[in-house]
Amino acid sequence: MPIDVIVLERGNPYPLYIWREEDVRDIDRTRWRQLALSLARRAAENRFLPMEVFLCPVVEQPGDLLNYRLIADVAATAREFSWAANIYVAVDDSNLFLNQLMDHLATLQLWFQEMHRVGVTDVLQVNAWSGEKRIQEGHPEAMSHLQAGADRSIMRQRGVRPNASWKCLLRKEDAVLRNLLSSFEVYSDASLPFTLRGNLITVLEDSSVVRQNRMVDRALISCRRGNHLVALPHPFSPSEHIKELRNAGRVQTLSYRGLFEVAYLVHLLNPRVETGDVRERGKEKSVTLSEPLFKPVQHTIMSSMLLTSTFDPDTDELNCLLAAREAGHCTRRKPAHTEYLVHPSVTCQNLPDLIERLGAPLTVWLHLGHGDAREGLAESQASEFRSPRRWLESFSAYGNSLALAVFSACESTSVARRFAQAGVGVTVGFEKEVPSEACEFLTAELVGAALNFNGDPKAILKAFHRGCAKLKARGFKGLGPTAFYSKR
C-alpha cells in the first residue's frame, strides 16, 4: 500500500515537500534525512515556519487500511525527521469501506492503539480529493481538504485536558464505536451510573433534538464535578439547549467527521505519561535565588513549549539529525492542545524574537546543542560559545515565569544552575559529555511531565528520576544529569 507524504507550512496550501512512499516496507530514509536537514537550513535563513506532515494511505481495498503496522512505521519515521511537526494520518471518506471494516474490529482496535503509541497528532477523515494524481501533484483543492482537516483537529483538541480520567457516553445502538473503545469506560444513556467520577465525553449522532438534550442532561446529572465535552458530527450544529449549556460554561462542544476521528479523540483524551514512583536516580540540587529574572511559576490551563537547536546541518549533519529525532521523540507525549514553537537554528540574538512569537507564560524551554563547562553553550551558524549570562540576558524582556528549562548539551550544568538562580522552576543539565542519542530518554520524560502537569515541579522532578533510570537501564552511565531548583 503506497502512502502519499505531504509537508505543508501551516496556512500555506502549496506543498513544501511531497512524495510517495511506494513500498513502506523499505522506507526512503534518505528523503526523510534530506527533509530534516532542509528544514534546519531554512531556519538558519529565517524561513522556518510551523510544519504539518500529512500521511495519506492510498486505499484501494479494505485490507490496505487494516495494515496499521505499515502506516505506523511511516508515522514513526515522520516523527523522527520532521522537527516535532504535527503528524496527521488522513484517510479518504470515500475509500473507508466501513461495511467490510466492521468485520475486523479487533484489528481496528490495534490500529488506533498503534497510531497513539507512535505519537500521531490526530487521525483525520477528509473529503475525496479529486483523484490521487491531483494529490500527488499538490493540487490546491486537495491541499485545502487536508488543511481543513488539520484546522478542525486544532479546534477539536482545544477540548483535550491532559491526565484526566475520561469516560465516554454513546447511544445504546452504537455497537461499532462501543467495540472500538472497549478498552475505555464506555456507557450508554441506559447504563450510565447515577454518580460517575472523572470526566465525560458525550458523543452525539444525527439524532433528534430531544434525544440529544436528554443524553447531555443525563451526563450532567451523573458526572456532577467533572468536565463535559459534547462531540457533534461535522457540520451538525448543537441544539439551542446545548448552546445555552455551552454559553453557561457547563459543557464544551467539538466536532468530528466520522468514526475514525471520534475513536482517536478518546485515545487523546486519556493520559500519555507515566505517573508511577521511582527511586531517586539523578542528582537534585537546590540553589539560592540570586538574581530573580523569572516570575514564580504559574499553573495555567494551557501549556506552551519552545524547542531550539544549534547543530549546523552542513558541518554537523549527524548531530543535526539526532536533534531532529530528539525533538520528535520528546514531543510525542505532549498534550494535543500544546502551543509550541520549534527553531533548529537559534542564537542569543534571535532567541528573544522566538519568545515573543510564542507568547507567555512559557512552560518549557528545551535547548539542543553543544556545551562546554567553561565557555557555556554554542550558538548556531557561527558555532561560537556564549556564556550562561549571555543566554540568560536573552530573557531580559520576557518578564514572566518558566517552569522547566532543559539543556540537552554536554557539560551544561553551569548554565542550568544559572537559570535556576534566576527563578526558573526546575532546570536540568549534564555534568559530563553526553551522546545525543542518550538525551532523548531523559528529555522525553521531562517535557511530557511538564506539559501534561502544567509545570508542576513535583511532577517534573519525579519524571527526572524516571528518565535517569531509563538512561541507566540502557547503559548510559556517568553522564551526570542534574536537576536544579531555586528556593524563593
Write down the pLDDT at residue 366.
Answer: 97
For 178-200, what is each residue's pLDDT tens digit? 888 888 899 988 889 999 988 99
Evaluate the omega torsion of the peptide bond into residue 193 and state whether it is cis, within 30 degrees of 0.
Answer: no
Q: Is the pLDDT of residue 130 over 50?
A: no
DSSP code, position 426: E
Percentage above 70 pLDDT, the chain: 91
In sequence order, the 6+-apart residues with CB closer than 8 A to the CB of 441 are: 467, 470, 471, 474, 476
Mean pLDDT of the chain: 87
Indicate the angle between helix axes 29-44 and 317-330, nearest 10 degrees: 90
Instruction: Please give the C-alpha separations between residue 237 and each of 173, 186, 241, 289, in angstroms, as whole numbers.
Output: 21, 24, 11, 53
Write down the pLDDT at residue 137.
Answer: 63
Residue 326 near residue 36, CB atoms below 8 Å: no
Write down the pLDDT at residue 95.
Answer: 61
For 383-435, what is each residue's pLDDT tens digit? 789 999 999 999 999 989 999 999 999 999 999 999 999 999 999 999 999 98
Whole-angstrom distance, CA of residue 242 vs CA of residue 102: 31
Bridge partners (DSSP) of residue 229 are: 201, 252
For 64-91, what is each residue's pLDDT tens digit? 888 889 999 999 999 999 999 999 999 8
Q: How confident is the model at residue 26 (pLDDT cuts 50, 70, 90)?
A: confident
Mean pLDDT of 97-112: 81
In sequence order, the 6+-apart residues with CB closer than 8 A to the CB of 119 are: 75, 76, 79, 87, 328, 331, 332, 333
pTM given for the model: 0.91
Write down the pLDDT at residue 388.
Answer: 94
For 27-41, what is each residue's pLDDT tens digit? 889 999 999 999 999
Mean pLDDT of 278-285: 79
Q: Is the pLDDT of residue 132 over 60?
A: no
Q: Is the pLDDT of residue 115 over 60?
A: yes
- The pair phi, psi for residue 95, each rounded to 5°, is -120, 30
Instruction: Please give the C-alpha separations between residue 409 and each of 80, 103, 376, 435, in angstroms, as whole numbers.
Output: 19, 50, 10, 9
Looking at per-residue pLDDT, the higher value among 102 and 97 belongs to 102
For 442-454, what is each residue's pLDDT tens digit? 999 999 999 888 8
Write down the pLDDT at residue 303.
Answer: 82
Mean pLDDT of 157-163: 67
* Intra-chain end-to-end CA distance of the chain, in Å: 58
For 312-339, what is each residue's pLDDT tens digit? 999 899 999 999 999 999 988 787 768 8
Cell of 441: 530518554
Q: How confident is the model at residue 205 (pLDDT cuts 50, 70, 90)?
A: confident
In DSSP notation, 148-214 reads HHHHHHHHHHTT--TT--EEEEE-TT-HHHHHHTTTS-EEETTT--SS--SEEEEE--S--HHHHHH
Write down the pLDDT at residue 275.
Answer: 58
